[in-house]
Amino acid sequence: MLIDTHSHLNFKEFDKDRDEVIKRAFENGVGKIINVGTNLRGSQDSIVLAEKHENIYAAISLHPINIEKEKFDEKAWLELAGHQKVVAIGETGFDFYHSSDREKQKEIFKELIKIACQVKKPLIIHSREADQKTLDILNHSESPFSRGVIHCFDRDYTVAKKFLDLGFLISYTGNITYNKENASSISKVPLDKMMVETDCPFLAPVPFRGKRNEPLYVKYVAQKIAEIKNISFEEVAEKTTQNAKKLFGLK
């Protein structure tokens, strides 16, 4: 069994066949899915989806690329964060590739860390071209926060090590199948510190690169890790599943 620890099934790309996509995953080796909302409405939708499916769980966030599109309503977010099927706060962090207002990103990042601390749930971190800044916040936030995952990791091991040292897990997605650079940390990151994800509808792994991604394809991510670490697919599946269950408190 595999756990897709980061999907966006609430996105419009799945409006036509969401139920089939979910069924296809659950009937073919995916045991659980963490669905990540990236704004208030999306986070509410994510919870609705999690309420409908026993093996779907929700993460809630105002993604750094969405911070200018809506006002952060602390009370509303705190209420969602307390929902029993919400297992993480995020994805939050910095995106210096897409968004320009870095101060605002920092403000929202800190707000969401505060909420994660209040509800005692782990963080899903989005860090794009911003690792040092992300590390600074995680290191120096008033309540040091060390439970969570760095999602969509494609940097080298020196960067991975800094996040591992803080206590974070590393999660890999389909872009590790695109080139060797994206996968360069995998041989050194311990198996008990990693998880797998799709980030669907984005980043479909080879052989579906460029197409819509879906939770079923998380197996290609696990396969690539097995190949690089020269271990069995089953071992990768078992370990990454254990890691996800532990981090998110899943049964």
Instruction: Please report, as ranges, the residues that interact with Ni ion according to CB under 5 A.
Output: 199
User: Residue 95 or residue 199: which is nearer to Ni ion going by CB?
Assistant: 199
User: Residue 34 or residue 222: which is nearer to Ni ion going by CB?
Assistant: 34
- Tokens coding 171: 């999660």
User: Residue 171 or residue 185: which is nearer to Ni ion going by CB?
Assistant: 171
CA-to-CA separations, 49 to 6, 15, 126, 249, in angstroms, rounded: 14, 12, 22, 18
User: Residue 202 or residue 233: which is nearer to Ni ion going by CB?
Assistant: 202
- Residue of minimal Cβ distance to Ni ion: 199
Q: How far is the CB of 24 from Ni ion (least distance, A)?
A: 20
DSSP 129: S
Residue tagged 């069924």 (tokens): 23
Q: How far is the CB of 208 from Ni ion (least distance, A)?
A: 17
Q: How far is the CB of 230 from Ni ion (least distance, A)?
A: 29
- Look at residues 228, 247, 218 and name the one whose alpha carbon lies nearest to residue 31: 218
Q: How far is the CB of 231 from Ni ion (least distance, A)?
A: 27
CA-to-CA separations, 228 to 158, 191, 208, 222, 241, in angstroms, rounded: 18, 12, 20, 10, 18
